[in-house]
Structure 1
Amino acid sequence: MKLAEFNSADTAVAADALKPCIDVQRWIEAITAARPFSSRATLLDFAAQAAAPFTAAEVEAAMAHHPRIGERPTANTAEASMSRSEQSGVDPSDNGTAAALAAGNRAYEEKFGRVFLIRAAGRTAPEILAALNTRLSNSPAEEDAIVAQQLREIALLRLEGVISE
């Protein structure tokens, strides 16, 4: 969607464009209410500010939509399509890496009670696996802060892909 279209769109249409970026209603409402934006950069700056910080409840709700790293979502939604694209650096046919990611995901979920989340776009499978193994040594408080930051990064990257100049 072009910025001019986003700026002039009905609030519900604009919100629907933002929802696949991150399903946090407060963030979506803040952005749609702040329209019109003079530039894409202004929109992205505002979106970053609106995302800092996400509350624990917002993080939990947003996490419900994220697949495990290494598992490709099969749904035919904008969010699933974005996730598949973001995880393109993880080759599911690489059995060794796939097994290591699956084991790491299980360990992470046992320790933290949620899926491992990382901004996968631009990262290779070995980089993701290394981050997963490193983050397993974090405390829950440290990991909460990292997960919130990763969600912000994912939301902004997705927004960049949704709204063009």
Structure 2
Amino acid sequence: MTSSTTPGGLARFNALEERTAHAALVEVCASAAWARGLLARRPYATPDALLAASDAVMAKLSAADLAEAMAGHPPIGRPEPGDPTSSREQRGMAGAPEELRARMLELNLAYQEKFGHVFLIRATGRTGEQMRDAVEERLGNAPEQEYEIVRAELTAINRIRLGRLLEEEEV
């Protein structure tokens, strides 16, 4: 597919100067290795090709790279002040009753104590109760199992965020 038939957002992304594209990708996922992996495969013929590349790079990230990616995510129920992305993604907790918010704080701390990192879930479209139920269930996982669940959740989050990146008027 030529750039003239490439969807506008993807054409803009493909044409970005490397430093600007890297900065945009690190906003999607805090892993520098993931961003480098996607940059190395540009240009993309279709949005699906970009998503497939994202999935492939995510599947090969090391434990350190995954830790770097997770560090870019605030705990569920406590989005970063002034960060519209985490606020939008965690909308399901925005109007949650105080009891649910307190329980999520307790569960987030227990999860972090057990696994050594923030509880990560694709929060987009989920209610506060669904996120609470997920963390309660996942607290019973073995670390190796949870590691792969986190990788899958990051993959899903990156797909959503890449879609939004391609929808933006300017990157």
TM-score normalized with structure 2 length: 0.87
Whole-angstrom distance in 2 between the partners of 1:23 and 1:2: 21
CA shift digits 1:125-159 (9 cap, x unpaired):
11100000000111111111111111111112111
Deviation of 1:11 after TM superposition, in Å, equals 0.7
CA shift digits 1:4-47 (9 cap, x unpaired):
11111111111111111112122211211211111112111121
Contiguous gaps of at least 5 residues in structure 1: none
- Percent identity, please: 35
Q: Which one-letter code corresponds to 2:34 in the other structure?
A: W
TM-score normalized with structure 1 length: 0.90
For the pair 1:130 / 2:166, whether they are aligned, the reply is no
Q: How does 1:27-66 map to 2 (within 5 A)?
A: 27-66=34-73
8 Å CA contact retained: 1:104, 1:133: yes
Partner of 2:155 in structure 1?
A: 152
8 Å CA contact retained: 2:55, 2:155: yes
8 Å CA contact retained: 1:90, 1:124: yes
3-state SS, counterpart of residue 122 of structure 1: coil
Partner of 1:13 in structure 2?
A: 20
Partner of 2:118 in structure 1?
A: 115
CA shift digits 1:66-86 (9 cap, x unpaired):
111100211x4xxx3211110
State the Cα RMSD in Å.
Answer: 1.7
Which of 1 and 2 has higher RCO (CA within 8 Å, sep 6+)? 1
8 Å CA contact retained: 2:21, 2:39: yes
Deviation of 1:53 after TM superposition, in Å, equals 2.9
For the pair 1:73 / 2:76, whether they are aligned, the reply is no
Partner of 2:99 in structure 1?
A: 96
Total equivalences in the alignment = 161
Q: Which one-letter code corresponds to 1:140 in the other structure?
A: P
Whole-angstrom distance in 1 between the partners of 2:64 and 2:141: 20
8 Å CA contact retained: 1:40, 1:164: no
